[in-house]
Amino acid sequence: NGAMLASACSGAVLLGEAGLLTNCDATIHWGYVKTLTNNYPGVRVRLDRSLVLSGEAQRIVMAGGGSSWQDLALYLIARFVGLKEAMEVAKVYMLQWHDMGQLPFASLMHLRQTTDAVISGCQEWLAMNYKTHAPVAAMATRSGLPERSFIRRFAKATGMKPLDYVHALRLEEAKQMLETTDLPIEAIANEVGYEDASFFGRLFRRKTGLTPARYRLRFGALRQALKHNQKEMRSGQGLTLRLLQ
């Protein structure tokens, strides 16, 4: 009836339950994407955006990740009050727009507990051997199943095709290495099982929304800043204890 509705994080589930997202673009926290798509057919989740506008006259506004409610607040201020006022609020509260969307933050692994001992054993093997050439074929051999049967059974047990699972596992490891080491990107690609660094770079960007270099700049710097401040706090606490003694 002309009202505007807004959601943040997992609140988009309420919009789905109300039947307002059928055949609409939407966003939600990356951890709840399956909840939205499995329960409300026709919803198109856009993790590449921090804010999604849908419905008639764009009166449904959804913010994805936990802190993207800040983007939602700035958008609503700009829409109903003015751009100048929204900019003033952003400056006063030191808010930054999540222009990268959620992809760089999202985990690529969809962890699902499985009672299938054969597939679980293959997952455990892969966790230690993801660099192996042709890992899907190797897992199929270990399972004792024909490759097609193995692929179907793996997908049913984990919710992911075996090759997608392999890529996700490799890229999650690559993320950690980009954050914690100074290894060249080509070396990281090789370490996680990709001989072609160009292919690795294209795949990484498609799955995370950032090139490996930009991911390292963003999250490696964040890790270093947190690590530095943690050391500063510990040294400060040590000094306080010595003074008290």
Token output for 33: 């994407």
Contact, 154 vs 110, CB < 8 A? Answer: no
Residue 103 pLDDT > 90? no
At 130-174, the pLDDT tens digits run: 999 899 999 999 999 999 999 999 999 988 899 999 999 999 999
Instruction: Give mean pLDDT, residues 188-210.
Output: 94
Residue 225 pLDDT > 90? no
At 71-99, the pLDDT tens digits run: 899 999 999 999 999 999 999 988 887 77
The percentage of the chain sitting over the pLDDT mark of 70, rounded to a whole number, equals 91
The percentage of the chain sitting over the pLDDT mark of 90, rounded to a whole number, equals 56
What is the CATH architecture of 117-218? Orthogonal Bundle (1.10)
What residues have CB less than 8 Å from 203, skipping those under 6 apart? 167, 171, 194
pLDDT band at 115 (very low <50, low <70, confident <90, very high): confident
Point out which residues pair with 60 in neighbouring strands.
5, 54
Token output for 169: 């596992």
Give dist(CA 196, CA 213) in Å, integer: 16
What residues have CB less than 8 Å from 214, skipping those under 6 apart? none
Give dist(CA 23, CA 40) in Å, integer: 9
Q: Is 4 helix (H, G, I), strand (E, B) or coil?
A: coil
Query: What's 5-92's CATH class?
Result: alpha beta
Give dist(CA 53, CA 41) in Å, integer: 18
The per-residue pLDDT for 231 is 67
The per-residue pLDDT for 245 is 57
Identical topology for domains 5-92 and 117-218: no
List for the chain the helix, strand, coil content (%; round to 5).
Answer: 60, 5, 30
pLDDT band at 232 (very low <50, low <70, confident <90, very high): low
Phi, psi of 219 (to 5 degrees): -95, -30
Instruction: Give mean pLDDT, residues 194-206.
Output: 95
> pTM of the full predicted structure?
0.68
Q: Domain residue spans in the chain?
A: 5-92, 117-218
Mean pLDDT of the chain: 87
Q: Is 26 helix (H, G, I), strand (E, B) or coil?
A: strand
